[in-house]
Structure 1
Amino acid sequence: MQKLLSKMRQAINDFNLIEDGDKIAVGLSGGKDSLTLLHLLNLYKKFSPEKFDLIAITLNPGGVDNGPLHSLCKELDVPFYEIQTDIKEIVFDLKKEKNPCSLCAKLRRGILNNTAEELGCNKVALGHHKDDAIETLILSLSYEGRINCFSPKTFMDKNTITLIRPMVYISEGSIKNIAKKYNLPIIKNPCPADGKTKRQDVKELINELNERIPGFKRNIFGALNNPEQLFIWNKDLIK
């Protein structure tokens, strides 16, 4: 846990993710990533040079028993809010989406950000990690033809919320180890599309390439952090 705290503190410092007086809502899905993030931020809060408040928000898409999350937040002394939603019904029953991830994510982001704002938060912390960043970059290149990835910090124009991702320097493997070591109360993902997405395909491809090409994942992540050496074919500049 100490090693992960060190990496998280590095990301916080590099991108100025947390400031004095922040009230931060952790988007607590019940997966290993968000559970680890909650633990890390709660530990960081004890020695952080910045004084901030922490709460957790869980969106229930419908019919999920989040009792273990209530118990965990009570144990950690973190205020917990569970919001009942009809996301599952909208995405799968009404819209009948064949590729549901985009709409689902949009709905979840909107409800999470609005709820956080209503509860007096100015920041929302999400559990995206190093491997998520690599996968997002490869997905963007492969399916959109552009170099793009989420940012460690994003200010949302529609409200007063800033999204932060304090675990961007932490690998998924380290998170899995922590979740197992501390027996975190993981809630099974209720989404019918879980494990059947383009992201899952890309994750498997990246792992395969990482075995065939030494340092593949390390180099991709290094490129993401190396804007000075970005070279793309800008026709106006080249002419």
Structure 2
Amino acid sequence: MGDYLMLADGDRVLCAVSGGIDSLTLVRVLQLWQEKAPLSYTVHGIHIDMQPQAVRPGVVARKVASILEELSIPCHILAAAWSPVRDILENDQTKNICFRCARSRRTQLFSYADQYHYNKLAMGHHRDDIIETFFLNMFYAGNLSTMVPKQELFSGRLALVRPLAYLDKQEVAQLGYQLSLQEVRTVCPLFEKTTRRQVSDVLDAIERRVPEVRKNIFAALGNVRPDYLLNPKYRSAHENRS
């Protein structure tokens, strides 16, 4: 967190909590850091309810709220603006479903944080998420980019921070175990079928041959040599010839 100055005195931090071990670990770490940090800030949780019921939140939302209540962390529940569970999906829609769902949830989180004057939005993405996003953007969007540990939004009124960015998935899971946290199972019908999961499987296969591959990819994201990449000013000419 120190490298990117993610927290400052007086921050109002809104932590996105899906119920997965990553987000639960993050909100607990932020709470524990309050006791040791040489600064004062507040932490609230927020959960996007993907299966809201008629008169009360869905099962996952209620479990998340219960966990945060036990930790004495205020929790805000928002009914999802869009959900693949509620919508009828055609075959040609499934390609973009994860992108659409994630974009919808991000929009709700950003809007809520800005509306209620939180200046930090914390998300539980870890090193593996950052690496996978790099390949997703390269494979499906044709650009070299990924999630960053800290990103300014709304002309600086809100900063998106990812305090777990330097930890890999296993390290986060181990930390969650040490903190006696138990994740809430997802209700996503495509949990095992996402393009992100496919990218992860490819990296797993490479890692069996190159054990340090994920570590090296992450290091490469901070060791860019623009002089040895294609010049973007020639892109349109190349595309016209294709």
Band the TM-score falls in, shorter-chain normalisation: 0.7 to 0.9
Q: Using a 3 Å threshold, how does the CA distance of structure 1 residues 100 and 18 change in structure 2: closer, same or farther?
A: same
The equivalent position to 2:164 in structure 1, one of 156, 162, 167, is 167
The unaligned stretches of length 5 or more in structure 1 are 1-11
Letter in 1 for 2:171: S
Whether the aligned pair in 1 keeps the contact of 2:23 and 2:123 (CA below 8 Å) is yes
Identity of aligned residues (%): 29
Structure 1 residue 79 displacement after superposition: 1.2
| TM-score computed with the length of structure 2 as normaliser | 0.84
Structure 1 partner of 2:132: 135
**Does residue 1:232 correspond to 2:216, yes or no?**
no
1:119-158 map, 5 Å: 119-157=116-154
Structure 1 residues 220 and 47: CA distance shift in structure 2, 3 A? same
**Which residue matches 1:103?**
100
Aligned residue runs from structure 1 range 38-187, under 5 A: 38-63=27-52, 64-65=58-59, 66-88=61-83, 92-93=87-88, 97-98=93-94, 99-157=96-154, 160-187=157-184
Q: Compute the displacement of 1:95 (Å).
A: 8.2
CA contact (8 A) 2:85 2:188 kept: no
Q: Deviations 1:80-124 (Å, cap 9, x if unpaired)?
A: 111123421687338883231111111111111222223321110
TM-superposed deviation, 1:14 = 0.8
2:226 and 2:25 map into 1 onto residues whose CA distance is 33
Matched positions, count: 226
- SS of alignment partner, residue 93 of structure 1: coil
Contact 2:126–2:169 at 8 Å: present in 1 too?
A: yes
Q: Which amino acid aligns with 2:97?
A: P
Name the SS of the counterpart of 2:146 in structure 1: coil
Per-residue CA shift, 1:202-237, capped at 9, x if unaligned? 101111111101311111011012236773122769
2:238 aligned residue: none
**What TM-score, normalized to structure 1?**
0.85
Tell me the CA shift for residue 150 of structure 1: 1.2
- Using the TM superposition, give the Cα deviation of residue 135 of structure 1 relative to its aligned residue in structure 2, in angstroms: 0.8
Does structure 2 retain, via aligned residues, the 8 Å contact 1:91–1:100?
no
